[in-house]
Structure 1
Amino acid sequence: MAESSKAVADVARIKREYNQALNANVSNFVTVKLSGYENYDFWHAQMMVLLEVYNMSGLLKDDDDVWHSIEGSEIWNRYDKLLKGWVLGSIDQEILPDHANSICGTALGLYEDLQGLYDSDKRRPIEEGMDDRMLMDVSPNDKESTEFMKELLNATMEGSWWKAKAILKNHENAATMVINNNDDTMLHLAVREGKNYFVNQLLNFIKDGSEIAIRNSQGHTALHTAATVDNKQAAKLLVNKSNELLNVKTRVGNFVPLDLAYFFGHIKTFLYLLEVARDMPGLFPSGIRYRFLGVHGLLANATSTKQYNLALKLVEIPELLALATKDDNALFALTTNFPPELGFWEALIYPFPVAVFSLIHLLICIIIFVLLLPLSMLYPHLWKGLVYAGLPIKHIEKRKRDYGEAIEVLKRICKEMNKKVTAENFEKLYAQPILEAARVDACEVVVEILSGFVDTQECRDERGHNVIQLATLNRSEKIYNRLSPGIKHSVSLRNMSDDSGNKLTHFAAKLASSIVLSRTTGAALQLQRELQWYEEVKKLMLPLELTHKNRDMETSEMVFTREHADLLKEGEESCSITAALIVTIVFAAAITVPGGSNQETGIPLFKKDIAFTIFAVCDALSLFTAATALLVFLSILTTRFAAKDFMVSLPRRLILGLCALFISTTAMMVAFGAILFLVFCDQRPWMLAPIGLLACLPILVIVTLQLPLVLDLYQSTYISSIQNIGNGTFVFKFKDEQGLQDVVENGVWIVNSKPMVVQKWDISVDVNKVEPSILPVWIKMLNIPLEAWSVKGLSALASSLGKPIIMDAMTTRMCTQGVGRLGYARVLVEVDAKKGLKDSIDIQYCDKSNKTIATKTVKVEYDWKPPICSRCQVFGHSNDKCGLNNSVEGNKMDVGYSENNDNGVKQQAQNKKDNVEELI
């Protein structure tokens, strides 16, 4: 009974002491890393002290009753994993692969494996065929008994080939002799230290290629060492010397060099060894050791380090792709480090030939080299600045390439994972990647995952946040635009909330992270952007849904006010500072009379000079615009700074003030340059060049610093949001009702020679299935009789096809002025899908008794012939792509393009008479 009580007490003690062991500082006890049998005893002694301090030594004993009684329980598993972590953390990486088979087992199994290999008392017997040198107990003093061995060791570590060569002349066999306690040869050490020139010279010195296959105490050849330390260049030299090294296996684990490169995640070395070892059988065995890789897999490493070119090569290997897609680590790593698309200016610059920029850059370098050669002190700094000036182009090129490679890697990973995904395991494979994509706005990842398994949008993180909520919280604009249309039509999606009762508007009301805020310049613009997000999300909700309170009893309005209080204050201060700074520029252009005036009349002496006139005009312009800027910024100072003012009112004033500031600064510098030329240059025209260049400097500075702010203000304030929802359909969002009405009532919009149908959205419109039945199309009417070349005649012809709207400029001139082309008439006609698309128009000429006496045919061509379905009677798809099982065979209409060469002259349709719509 007493023994039973003691056992229960011991188990309770073990549970209590786990947290102490969990926080142990192992490095205070184990100060060495186990690298082989030569330091095993010291490592073992330190490890045992650590285990005894935390009462864990029983884990390594089979006869410990207390630990044996709880074996397999949750607390025992925790201790076992903790001990295994301690052991793995204190093992040198070079010997770690030798014990890969034990890593997935228990801590006791791993410890016994180490003990059996390195403990002198329990060392395993030498296996048949093994090199005896691995287990020979050779005293260090015997190895270093001669002075030349010490010198050879030092020369190898330094990479000094001339020293080593001098020694090897007298001791040629020393090139393959053991020179340290780990049984390393010169080749092992040189490869490990990265002395590749030394390696090359040593390989040339060693005549027999078989002699480089010597193994050290871990059973590694020099090629194993190269794979372990990621020395690709040394691996090339060794394989070129003897490709038989590719098939040499370690004594423990039977690893070839390719296995070690894979195990340690050395991508470049792995790809090289794979390339030269293509004929090796079983490159990717499904042994237990490969399960240990986890997040350290090659593909995850490549994407984590943003080496997308290497990642693309890796996914081209079917066996590796199959291994990498067993879990979500590779996809998660790619999502976390997915490169962004090029910005507007970068995309504009990139298509230009890089070779042209490189040539221009080279010519500029040569010219500056010649001009600045005498300035030897300043030249290095100027040269460095010039070189860096050319880097952005190369940077854009690299970003473009990275993005394309990342897209290809993403598609291949998702394609492979889609083969394995089921309704039961989709969260395990896709939850982490898609949620991380929502955080970092990796829209491409979200689209690719959803296209394969749409249910992943319902995945939630540990706080109950799903994809759309995380996208809103992290201001992931592209993902939000992609998913938000579906929320409008779904009550369940609109009412979704997290574990704290927060709805989507609460997430929009929360302050964005500092990283997101830093994308926008200034507190005023930041607050404006936050307001735009909040207002955008509010549009998805019904009015009553906006009054919903979370568990903290806060509505979204309350959350927004609380979260953005500090940002509102900063926005007010930033406007005040801007207004204070502008005052110093307003009075910079002082009104003076250069050269003096006539004492009797007061007329300036330089009145008749052109330079003086330029000065007077620019000086006045500078003063007026500076005063305007001052008044604008003073009005900002007197604004009440309510949150809504940051939406339109304040940005509009900032744009006006900054533009006035640009004009004022430019005019002031022109005026100053004119006076310099007038007073000091004595009518020497060549002086205009340096004056003009120097005057441009402050203008360029202020434009460079403030123009991006003006563009951001204009874009965020006036440019409407546009969403491409696919299928050629776009959603335009306007700031106010007036802007929407202007677009809808402005008539027909032509984009890239194709008409764009503009329709006001309401709750009955499904934006994903918009296929119009009436469509404006540009037509060409050929072989028109001369008598029909009039507004009425063309109106009659076009009315047989649909409702005529406008004629192009050339057709209008031909009808009204009698000049232009007679080959064809070009008219925009609203065509009804119910009537179809005609290829010709017949004109019948009748006598007084309405008897047809002649017929002429006008041929009809379409600039863009839209696909039409005679079954559905709509445009957008052809008969063979119709979802209905129709038996009506229609002509397949291919989409074509033509260049729009008219000037957009617009006519109005009116005066319906006898079903003829007249164009005037």
Structure 2
Amino acid sequence: MEDTSSSTATSLDTAKPSLMSDPAQQITLVQPTPRLPTRLASLYKPSSKTEPSQVAIPSSNGSAQQTVMQPRHRALDTINSRKMEAEGHHSIEMPPQAPSTLPLAPPLPPKKLQSKKPSPFYDGQRQKYNEICVPLNNAALKGDWPAAEKIIRQFPEVVRSSITQNEETVLHIVSSTKHIHFAEMLVNEMNDEDLELQNGDGSTALCLAVASTVEMVDVLLRRNKGLLKIRKKGDLPFLCAVYSGDRNMVEHIYSKTDLVDLKWNYSDKTRILDSCLAFGLLDIALKILIDTREKGILTIETLVLRYLASNASAFQGQTALRRLINTISVLIPGQRLPFAHHKAIEIVRIIWKEIVQQKHEDILKQIAGDPSIKKVEGLLFTAARLGNHKFIIELLRLCPDITWEIDENKHTIFHVAVIHRQENVYNLLYELGSKKLGVVDKDGNNILHLAAILPKQNRLNIVSGAAFQMQRELIWFQEVNTMVSSVDRTKKNNAGKSPQELFTDEHIKLMEKGENWMKQTAAHSMVVAALIATIMFAVAFTLPGGNNQNNGLPIYLGKRAFAVFVITDAISLCTSSASILVFLAILTARYTEKDFLVSLPVKLMIGVSTLFISIMTMMIAFSASFFLLYEESMKWAPILVTALASLPVFLFACLQFRLLLDMIQSTFSSRYLLKNRKHMLY
């Protein structure tokens, strides 16, 4: 070896003058295969040795080539990868060129980290694999360190060898578990480089530990912080942590991540932000944006805005239950739930403040859509289509010029809101005015024509029942009708239809469905109401205990239970009779368009409500009769009967409550659906 080294050094000194003097030179780079960890002699076959990278320089007299050690260039790894696999090396022939005319070489790209694979777990020696690797695998899964230590002491190289078909080491296996002590002892038996070994999927032990516990991650990072830079198929471990969806894990990994040192590329920041938003980790995404802005490495990307524009739920405020939980959890340190909608708004503000610094034309391409790319919908119109009014508000506050921008169909955001029945976006119109609503689209439709067109089924299904869907459509049409001029109300589109004619044609099938649904509901409910009325009428003259033969008064007249029985019987009889009359009125209605707006929904709401009251009072009367008859002899019987009698009432309430709630909401709340209740924009 000493002779070879001295010969190489001498060759280097001799080769330098020859390289500069002879332009017709050849440089041959010998590319080595990646160096693998040491293999177990008892388990693995020896592999062929490879030489380091060399530069062979022929002398000017044609003598034997002289070698010079050279580093491997990353570009050769991509261009000649197939040839390298077949021959074990590759070469590049440089064309003759005078040294004085050589251009300055561009700077080399950053060196790509090479994938480090563990030694194969066996080469045809299945028996030894079953005797060593399988027990070690089982010990790692169970956290049995004494059993694993016994094998490691006998075969030390097994800690850096793969013991599964997926090329996983013992550390890969235990990193997916919660056996912290096993991992700590195992890491002490390994070198720092051993922690960087990757399995068949390209995952290091850290990429698997992010789906385990924070303590497991700390065990690995205390030994080798460089694991944070080793990617799994292009993904940083931080992105793997985001995929796990564990908020605490993501925060912990991010606290140990240095954005500047890692030099996240453009794709990293975009994918990590998108993934954080997709998994609801808005607070982490906001922290990344703030940190990158402070460190001067913020990259503005409208893809993040596109995701937020299409995710209206991220901007929704908290419910009363959620606010109560946050109020209680504030007493417990570290347990307060973040206000997600506030985080989403802050993210939009940070990105939008940077975008509005650009030219107006560039802003329109990113927000309103690029006319040259018709298949890509503008962010502004995406938010309007999905009803994300808070997203739109943030955009309009900093750039009000985009309010009346139109898309490829010549629709503003308010036209889009009417098409898709998004009342929250449409209500912004009350603060901006309706002076520009007279614009028509390619089909000659104004905004009232768009209100007359039947929306998609998913928007109709917001309320249950075809009759209430028809009512919601009438409310929309009438409200838009008040916002347009008298000319637009009678203006015809390219098909020769006025808004009212178009509304009738579009909703004729929905009216038929609403009529059939109302009649079927009324008919079935009237049968139940008639049965209740018949029974309660008969019970009124057949009192429990009978009458006194002397004076004809009821025997239990002085008891409280008897008063309850009489009152509830009368209420049940009256309400069931009223229910019959209301359902009869529904069956004999004319079913015009205007009937669906108030008359029919109110009648159905009254009919169902009175039917529910009649059922409830009937069961109360039934229970009261048992208290009268069996209160003294069997005291447990009235209580049991009362409990059983509440079951029909409970079932009816559960099964029909949603329908009753929709009736009330559609009849009364819908009147305030399209009204300016508060200043949302300014």
Q: TM-score when scaled to structure 2?
A: 0.70
After superposition, where does 1:496-645 map in structure 2 within 5 Å?
496-582=439-525, 583-588=527-532, 589-590=535-536, 591-592=538-539, 593=542, 594-597=544-547, 604-645=554-595
CA contact (8 A) 2:345 2:394 kept: no
After superposition, where does 1:229-240 map in structure 2 within 5 Å?
231-233=210-212, 237=216, 239-240=218-219
Query: 2:391 is matched with which residue: 435, 442, 445?
Result: 445
- Hey, what's the Cα distance between the residues in 2 that align with 1:272 and 1:682? 69
Query: 2:256 is matched with which residue: 254, 276, 290?
Result: 276
Task: Tell me how far 1:472 sits from its aligned partner.
Answer: 1.1
What SS does structure 1 have at the residue aligned with 2:360? coil
CA contact (8 A) 2:136 2:148 kept: yes
What SS does structure 2 have at the residue aligned with 1:511? coil
Task: Tell me how far 1:111 sits from its aligned partner.
Answer: 6.4
CA contact (8 A) 1:182 1:217 kept: no
RMSD: 4.5
What SS does structure 1 have at the residue aligned with 2:594? helix
- Hey, what's the Cα distance between the residues in 2 that align with 1:110 and 1:503? 61
CA contact (8 A) 2:176 2:211 kept: no
Alignment-derived partner of residue 112 in structure 1:
79
What one-letter code is carried by the residue in structure 1 that aligns with 2:398? G
**1:410 equivalent in alignment to 2:348:** yes
CA contact (8 A) 2:196 2:204 kept: no
- Hey, what's the Cα distance between the residues in 2 that align with 1:557 and 1:205? 78
**1:466 equivalent in alignment to 2:404:** no
Alignment-derived partner of residue 94 in structure 1:
none
After superposition, where does 1:670-749 map in structure 2 within 5 Å?
670-682=620-632, 690-704=640-654, 705-706=656-657, 707-716=660-669, 722-724=675-677, 726=679
What SS does structure 1 have at the residue aligned with 2:483? coil
What SS does structure 1 have at the residue aligned with 2:589? coil
Task: Tell me how far 1:636 sits from its aligned partner.
Answer: 0.8
CA contact (8 A) 1:176 1:212 kept: no
Listed one character per residue, the Cα deviations across residues 571-607 of structure 1 (whole Å, up to 9, x for unaligned) are 1122112212222133224322133346787654444
- Hey, what's the Cα distance between the residues in 2 that align with 1:135 and 1:686? 76
Structure 1: runs of 5 or more not aligned:
1-35, 39-100, 103-108, 360-396, 730-767, 769-920
After superposition, where does 1:909-920 map in structure 2 within 5 Å?
none
Alignment-derived partner of residue 176 in structure 1:
160
What one-letter code is carried by the residue in structure 1 that aligns with 2:662? L
Task: Tell me how far 1:626 sits from its aligned partner.
Answer: 0.9
Task: Tell me how far 1:503 sits from its aligned partner.
Answer: 1.6
Structure 2: runs of 5 or more not aligned:
1-32, 36-73, 93-110, 369-377
What one-letter code is carried by the residue in structure 2 that aligns with 1:172? P
Corresponding residue pairs, total: 563
Alignment-derived partner of residue 18 in structure 2:
none
- Hey, what's the Cα distance between the residues in 2 that align with 1:198 and 1:143? 30
Listed one character per residue, the Cα deviations across residues 290-320 of structure 1 (whole Å, up to 9, x for unaligned) are 34459x6111112123333433333332259
Alignment-derived partner of residue 64 in structure 2:
none
After superposition, where does 1:121-140 map in structure 2 within 5 Å?
121-122=88-89
Alignment-derived partner of residue 19 in structure 1:
none
Alignment-derived partner of residue 97 in structure 2:
none
Task: Tell me how far 1:546 sits from its aligned partner.
Answer: 1.9
- Hey, what's the Cα distance between the residues in 2 that align with 1:282 and 1:124? 34
Task: Tell me how far 1:457 sits from its aligned partner.
Answer: 2.9
- Hey, what's the Cα distance between the residues in 1 that align with 2:113 and 2:304? 40
- Hey, what's the Cα distance between the residues in 2 that align with 1:698 and 1:135? 67
The structure-2 alpha-carbon separation of the partners of 1:177 and 1:304, relative to structure 1 and needing over 3 Å to count, comes to: closer
**1:422 equivalent in alignment to 2:367:** no
Listed one character per residue, the Cα deviations across residues 538-576 of structure 1 (whole Å, up to 9, x for unaligned) are 111112212233333333223322322222122112211
Listed one character per residue, the Cα deviations across residues 766-800 of structure 1 (whole Å, up to 9, x for unaligned) are xx9xxxxxxxxxxxxxxxxxxxxxxxxxxxxxxxx
Task: Tell me how far 1:198 sits from its aligned partner.
Answer: 6.1
CA contact (8 A) 2:231 2:237 kept: no
The structure-2 alpha-carbon separation of the partners of 1:141 and 1:190, relative to structure 1 and needing over 3 Å to count, comes to: closer
Listed one character per residue, the Cα deviations across residues 302-354 of structure 1 (whole Å, up to 9, x for unaligned) are 212333343333333225998775331111112222326778xx744455467
Query: 1:661 is matched with which residue: 585, 588, 611?
Result: 611
The structure-2 alpha-carbon separation of the partners of 1:216 and 1:608, relative to structure 1 and needing over 3 Å to count, comes to: closer
Task: Tell me how far 1:245 sits from its aligned partner.
Answer: 2.8
- Hey, what's the Cα distance between the residues in 1 that align with 2:363 and 2:546? 86
**1:167 equivalent in alignment to 2:145:** no
What one-letter code is carried by the residue in structure 2 that aligns with 1:414? W
Query: 1:652 is matched with which residue: 602, 608, 612?
Result: 602
Task: Tell me how far 1:637 sits from its aligned partner.
Answer: 0.8
CA contact (8 A) 2:137 2:163 kept: no
- Hey, what's the Cα distance between the residues in 1 that align with 2:80 and 2:442? 48
CA contact (8 A) 1:450 1:457 kept: yes
Listed one character per residue, the Cα deviations across residues 777-830 of structure 1 (whole Å, up to 9, x for unaligned) are xxxxxxxxxxxxxxxxxxxxxxxxxxxxxxxxxxxxxxxxxxxxxxxxxxxxxx
What SS does structure 1 have at the residue aligned with 2:493? coil
Task: Tell me how far 1:533 sits from its aligned partner.
Answer: 0.7
CA contact (8 A) 1:175 1:206 kept: no
CA contact (8 A) 2:572 2:614 kept: yes
The structure-2 alpha-carbon separation of the partners of 1:713 and 1:462, relative to structure 1 and needing over 3 Å to count, comes to: closer
What SS does structure 1 have at the residue aligned with 2:236? helix
- Hey, what's the Cα distance between the residues in 1 that align with 2:294 and 2:484? 47
What SS does structure 1 have at the residue aligned with 2:301? coil
After superposition, where does 1:852-867 map in structure 2 within 5 Å?
none
Task: Tell me how far 1:714 sits from its aligned partner.
Answer: 4.3
Alignment-derived partner of residue 201 in structure 1:
182
Listed one character per residue, the Cα deviations across residues 3-57 of structure 1 (whole Å, up to 9, x for unaligned) are xxxxxxxxxxxxxxxxxxxxxxxxxxxxxxxxx999xxxxxxxxxxxxxxxxxxx
Task: Tell me how far 1:216 sits from its aligned partner.
Answer: 4.5
What one-letter code is carried by the residue in structure 2 that aligns with 1:584? V
- Hey, what's the Cα distance between the residues in 2 that align with 1:474 and 1:133? 51
Q: TM-score when scaled to structure 1?
A: 0.53
Alignment-derived partner of residue 903 in structure 1:
none
What SS does structure 2 have at the residue aligned with 1:723? coil
- Hey, what's the Cα distance between the residues in 1 that align with 2:420 and 2:114? 62
CA contact (8 A) 1:183 1:216 kept: no
What one-letter code is carried by the residue in structure 2 that aligns with 1:669? M
Query: 1:304 is matched with which residue: 268, 272, 278?
Result: 278
- Hey, what's the Cα distance between the residues in 2 that align with 1:451 and 1:607? 73
Alignment-derived partner of residue 314 in structure 1:
288
**1:401 equivalent in alignment to 2:339:** yes
